[in-house]
Amino acid sequence: QQHAGVVHSSNLCTEITLNTSADEIAVCNLGSVNLVKHMKDGKLDIEKLQKTIKTAIRMLDNVIDINYYSVPQAKNSNLRHRPIGLGLMGFQDALYLQNIPYASEEAVTFADRCMEHISYCAITASSELAEERGTYESYPGSLWSQGVLPIDSIQFVQASRGKYLDQNTDQTLDWDTLRERVKKVGMRNSNVMAIAPTATISNICGVTQSTEPTYQNLFVKSNLSGEFTVVNPYMVHDLKKRGLWDKVMIHDLKYYNGSLAHIERAPKDLKELYATAFEVEPRWLVDAASRRGKWLDQAHSLNLYMAEPSGKKLDTLYRMAWIRGLKTTYYLRTMGATNTEKATIADGKLNAVSVTNAPSPDEPECEACQ
């Protein structure tokens, strides 16, 4: 609407916000950075991150040229605008490696800082490609050509909403220099970032999905080879260090679906660090997403978790998401009633009924977002 056309809707997973029309069908060209592989001594390895992102942006740009297009409208859109979407996975693992609970200001700050670096590196890499290969066809007149970066676009939302926007705009990198570079040499890609759900590739890599909190610390995974019990390795490591990993702990974890929250002998700091998705207040997910969102030129596939939803709670949560400047959210996941009863009664073994209606973390998702 500001330039090449109208964003009528997002994709299924809500991280793609591209123009579609009778002549153009938007295409997802996605990739994700594994944060775990970019942690060194409990900190983000910025130098390695820069190298990875530079390679990833080049790779995604190459995909546009060598891809198979089933319909001409998709090819027309992709070659004209050359949009790509680089995101991340393993955010929760990166917090574990720093001993940072998801429900904390430290986690929100880390979400901000790591996304700022990803954004800076991705925009820089696309600008370097523009210098080498030329800008995308529809670049003239775009926000990029006017020196407007994602962080700058918040002012447009502020102007249209007035007081109904409360989004942090802190920054730590030299954005002025990058802004001038983009104005001078242009961009190879109309869009460069989007945070996909990574439901499949994160499992292949052995890390947590996208920016999600851990769904369960202990669960059973089934495939053609049989059933396998999967336990959070970070939690096991920390429990072993404290001499707490024994048969009783394993039994308690099975009973409480992998949650430490109701196990009395589990230390408070480990309960906070290994809080599962339904134990983390959803406002922390919204705050972290808001911090990431200011660096994104597309959007964020964000699941929200609420054990016992109500109209009032949902109204408060989604109003908060809007005020924090979130462009999209994804699934709202709720807990089955039987599971809620079991989880909220600390020693209620009479309530240990089987859970048949708990949500699955494997809801249908777009194959391109994996």
Higher pLDDT, 125 or 342: 125
For residue 220, the cross-strand partners are 229
Q: Is 13 a catalytic residue?
A: yes
CATH of domain 1-208+279-370: 3.20.70.20
**What b/e sequence results for 153-166 when a residue is b if at least 16 CB atoms lie within 10 Å of its CB, and e otherwise?**
ebeeebeeeeeebe
Q: Is the pLDDT of residue 364 over 50?
A: yes
Q: What is the pLDDT of residue 246?
A: 96
Number of residues that this document lists for the chain: 370
Q: What is the pLDDT of residue 363?
A: 57
| Short-list 216, 256, 236, CA closest to 362 | 216
Q: What is the pLDDT of residue 315?
A: 98
* Domain boundaries along the sequence of the chain: 1-208+279-370, 216-275
Percent of the chain with pLDDT over 90: 82
Q: Is the pLDDT of residue 357 over 50?
A: no
Give the integer Cα–Cα distance in Å for 370 and 365: 8
Q: What is the pLDDT of residue 367?
A: 67
Q: What is the pLDDT of residue 240?
A: 98
Q: Is 11 a catalytic residue?
A: yes
Q: What is the pLDDT of residue 366?
A: 72
Query: Out of 15, 116, 212, 279, which one is annotated catalytic?
Result: 15
When the pLDDT of each residue in the chain is averaged and rounded to a whole number, the result is 91
Q: What is the pLDDT of residue 344?
A: 46
Average the pLDDT over 188-203 and give the result. Answer: 96
The model's confidence at residue 343, banded by pLDDT at 50, 70 and 90, is: very low
Q: Is 366 a catalytic residue?
A: no
* Least-confidence region, from 161-165, 175-179, 244-248, 273-277: 161-165
Query: Out of 11, 34, 78, 303, which one is annotated catalytic?
Result: 11
Rg (CA), the chain: 22
The model's confidence at residue 346, banded by pLDDT at 50, 70 and 90, is: very low
Q: Is the pLDDT of residue 330 over 70?
A: yes
